[in-house]
Structure 1
Amino acid sequence: MGQRLPVFPLGTVLFPGLVLPLHIFEERYRALVRHLTSLPDGVTREFGVVAIRRGWEVLPTAGPPGAPAPTSVSLHEIGCTAQLRQVTELPNGRYDIVTVGRRRFRITDLATEGTPYLTASVQWLPEPTGSEELADLLAPQVLAVFRQYLDLVRTDSAEITEQLPEQPTVLSHLVAATAALHISERQALLAELDTARRLRAELRMLNREVALLRRVRAVPVPLPELAVPASPN
């Protein structure tokens, strides 16, 4: 059996190294925050973020504390842990938290009993580069096309492109998280076996998006709304 991990279903895909702020208002997830903050010093405070395949993350009734976790959502198999970095408790008992993506995992078993929130046994997924030579070859190509993409969708692209990472794995996660891709495409990128495969897929997607943007010369909605789907939690 793999390690047991609290699970937070969301309408977005989290990648290692990316920041995810959340507003926590449901009692089951407030209980999760209380559990994490009660852990002793030296223990990593993290939970699993898994994109929702079908259903809703906020249910009409969450049930009383300690009740079995609701199961009216269907989740993707691959997720990423969110490490708790900052917690602000609000006067109404809610929380504003800041998390950072840490490591990928595959769900092997999902449990709905014992805690008000879902928990899962997970298998940790390493992040091999695949062929290092191929990853090193693909990274500059992806970076170049990503710069073209940002020039087409951002007015402040010059400031951003100066700070883009060159390390292949970090770049692959950043592109996957920030480009205006459908959630199914982001999920597929998260699930890629290694960095080289992810970069190859991103190169194809970015070339497609750049060609489309050059034809239409317009972005239908602001990029942040596409890159980070809104979450009530």
Structure 2
Amino acid sequence: MTDLPMFPLGSVLFPHMPLPLRVFEERYLVMLSRILSDEPSEFGVVLIERGQEVGGGEQRFTVGTVAQIQQLDATEDFVVLVAQGERRIEILEWLEEDPHPAARVRAIPELVWSDDLMPLRVRAEEAVRRTLRLASESGDQLWSPDVEISDEPAAAAWQLAAIAPVGELDQIALLRSTTMKGLLEALIELMESAGESFIPPWPEEG
């Protein structure tokens, strides 16, 4: 267990994914000033369950990801940074805000990769890219169907979960996965369900 400064957001951060942030709230500027002397400089990210990002008072999920600061640039009014999702954490207890959120957390065990999962990982990638192509035909998508992912299999599995066009509750369910096989199977199942929603209806006979 450890105490960690926290940054509740309206989006889910997965391991091995970038997190660009524009920080302007005073409490989070204080947080940055406190952690930048540490190496590495890290904070936790959790999804807001109810409420808003600005001002506090929101309710938060109990699973999140440690973000490690990679780049930072400051202006007079705000700080722009890019962090990288590292490892998953479970929030055990929210601590008193002083002035930024903080929590007592413990690490969630890493998912173990096995080479016999490679066919499943390939199926998951094909399913995600196929669904992204279908989604791109019906509107703007954050991720291109051709986006590059890591050559490292475990990292690639998390990146596929991150770029999959699903809602935040499904993303939280993926983030809670207890096995690599379970993550990939859940991802394929979600893509099969999501793909159906992008299929245009049959034309009615006139």
Q: Same fold (TM over 0.5)?
A: yes
Percent identity, aligned pairs only, is 29
Match of 2:186 in 1: 201
Query: Contact (CA 8 Å) 1:139, 1:166: kept in 2 or not?
Result: no
For residues 177-215 of structure 1, the C-alpha deviation after alignment (integer angstroms, 9 at most, x for no partner) is: 112211111011111112211111100011112222123
Match of 1:128 in 2: 111
2:82 counterpart of 1:98:
yes
C-alpha separation between the residues in 1 aligned to 2:146 and 2:174?
26
2:128 counterpart of 1:146:
yes
2:196 counterpart of 1:211:
yes
Query: Contact (CA 8 Å) 2:67, 2:84: kept in 1 or not?
Result: yes
For residues 28-65 of structure 1, the C-alpha deviation after alignment (integer angstroms, 9 at most, x for no partner) is: 001111112233xxx21000000011122212xxxxxx
Q: Which structure 2 residues correspond to residues 105-120 of structure 1 after superposition, within 5 A?
A: 105-113=89-97, 115-120=98-103
Aligned length: 197
C-alpha separation between the residues in 2 aligned to 1:47 and 1:153?
33
Q: 1:133 to 1:216 in 2, by over 3 A?
A: farther
Q: 1:120 to 1:166 in 2, by over 3 A?
A: same
Superposition deviation, residue 167 in structure 1: 4.3
5+ long unaligned stretches in structure 2: 138-142
Q: 1:158 to 1:202 in 2, by over 3 A?
A: closer
C-alpha separation between the residues in 2 aligned to 1:37 and 1:206?
39
CA RMSD of aligned residues (A): 2.2
Match of 2:177 in 1: 192
* SS of residue in 1 equivalent to 2:80: strand
Q: Which amino acid aligns with 1:55?
A: G
Match of 1:10 in 2: 9
2:167 counterpart of 1:182:
yes
Q: Which amino acid aligns with 1:17?
A: H
Q: Which amino acid aligns with 1:125?
A: I
Query: Contact (CA 8 Å) 2:4, 2:44: kept in 1 or not?
Result: yes
Match of 1:55 in 2: 51
Q: 1:159 to 1:75 in 2, by over 3 A?
A: closer
C-alpha separation between the residues in 2 aligned to 1:98 and 1:79?
17
Superposition deviation, residue 154 in structure 1: 4.0
C-alpha separation between the residues in 1 aligned to 2:72 and 2:64?
22
What's the TM-score, normalizing by structure 1? 0.77
C-alpha separation between the residues in 1 aligned to 2:201 and 2:153?
30
C-alpha separation between the residues in 2 aligned to 1:211 and 1:58?
36
Q: Which amino acid aligns with 1:54?
A: R
Query: Contact (CA 8 Å) 2:132, 2:165: kept in 1 or not?
Result: no
Query: Contact (CA 8 Å) 1:140, 1:166: kept in 2 or not?
Result: no
* SS of residue in 1 equivalent to 2:131: helix
Query: Contact (CA 8 Å) 1:51, 1:75: kept in 2 or not?
Result: yes
C-alpha separation between the residues in 2 aligned to 1:85 and 1:36?
13
**RCO comparison, higher one (Cα < 8 Å, 6+):** 1
Superposition deviation, residue 139 in structure 1: 0.6
Superposition deviation, residue 10 in structure 1: 0.5
* SS of residue in 2 equivalent to 1:96: strand
5+ long unaligned stretches in structure 1: 60-69, 218-233
Match of 2:30 in 1: 31
